[in-house]
Amino acid sequence: MARLMVPWKGAHSAQFRPAAQVSPPWRPCSLPTPLFKPAVSAAAFWRGRGDTPLTRPFLPSFARAHCERQGKHRATGPVQNPAVLQACLWLLASVYVFWLFILPYAPGDPVWAIKLDTITMILDLSLNFLFILPLTNLLGIHVLESPAVHPTAEALFNLVMGWSIMFAPMLFTDERRKRYSGSLVALWGIQMFLTNTVLIPYMAIRLNHEDRINEDVLSKTGSVKLELSGVQKVMVSGARVVSVVCGAVGLISVLWFFLGRADEGFGNFSDRWTFFLEYLASDRPGYAFVWDICLYSLFQPWLIGDNLDKVQKRKSEIIGYLRFIPYVGLVAYLWSLSDFEELEA
């Protein structure tokens, strides 16, 4: 008996395959997991009795390509099991707060036993925020003198501050921001002082079960409308300015670590590195900044991966790779963010 054959619309349109192998359309943007099924035997394949449809994607890239052709966004963040991941984040938040603020076992003093020298160091670093005072003094402007803080401590502090500033446009345009019921401006403001104390809980809250969203709050691309105002609108519309300024701060931080205050007796690279290690081993804020860098390096590619649809299309692929480079990836993301009018459409 002649076997019924149907056209196979694919890369080789002239080929045919058995009708038994034709499977119903699949939706790559909402595929159940796992995507793989046990391979069928060669005999079952030729008899047309295999259980696995040939049209089911065997690689995630197939699904991603289909989503792109359909104009849909497929999140690339690490969310595989939200409940387990959310529990881990809440546990991490607890460890972060107790270890860095309350328990006396980490380097330096806890909050309840903080010393005057530590408070003075924090105030001096704050006065040198983003190297504004040190650089103006270098230019001969001495309206206000910069406190003489060790350049390695200044570099570490300002690197974390520049990174924290760049999270503002990211948080304000995050696809899952509606799951956080509080003020994102307030959250970011606290993040500037307490960094991951508030960012870790936000990362956990954004994994909450997705509620049904009314169509009137969706943009033309199917994402949640921005509806920004005030500080949020300024930071998002000026994302490129933020990327340039904070990118410069990051570069200056690296140079400042090695060359800053060269004429003030802070020694060569070996001396600076020795002090830096001693600083991390004896100062609680400095030690906490290292934690912040590690956690920012983890959260940055996660958030960017979930929001790649907000990047200019011609740059989305390169941003998908750059997002894994600490600090640099967020600079590139903000520079490549779509125009504010497009994000609001």
Which pLDDT tens digit goes with each residue over 25-79?
A: 544 444 444 444 444 444 444 444 444 444 444 444 444 544 444 444 455 555 5
**Dist CA 133 CA 245 (whole Å):** 15
Give per-residue pLDDT as tens, 72-102. Answer: 445 555 556 789 999 999 999 999 999 999 9
**Position with higher pLDDT, 29 vs 252:** 252
Q: How many other CB atoms are there within 10 angstroms of residue 88's CB atom?
A: 12
Mean pLDDT of 109-114: 95
Does residue 224 sit in the same domain as residue 100? yes
Does residue 149 sit in the same domain as residue 274? yes
Nearest to 54 by CA among 109, 10, 119, 14: 10
pLDDT of residue 226: 73
Does residue 30 sit in the same domain as residue 128? no
Does residue 56 sit in the same domain as residue 89? no
Q: Whose structure tokens read 């640099």?
A: 328
Whether residue 48 lies inside any domain: the answer is yes
- Band the pLDDT of 133: cuts 50, 70, 90: very high
- Domain end residue (candidates: 74, 94, 117): 74
Does residue 266 sit in the same domain as residue 312? yes
Does residue 110 sit in the same domain as residue 64? no
Range of the domain at 311: 82-344
Q: pLDDT above 90 covers what percent of the chain? A: 67
**Dist CA 149 CA 156 (whole Å):** 12
- Domain end residue (candidates: 15, 50, 74): 74
- Residue 228's identity, in one-letter code, is L
**Position with higher pLDDT, 129 vs 58:** 129
Does residue 64 sit in the same domain as residue 178? no
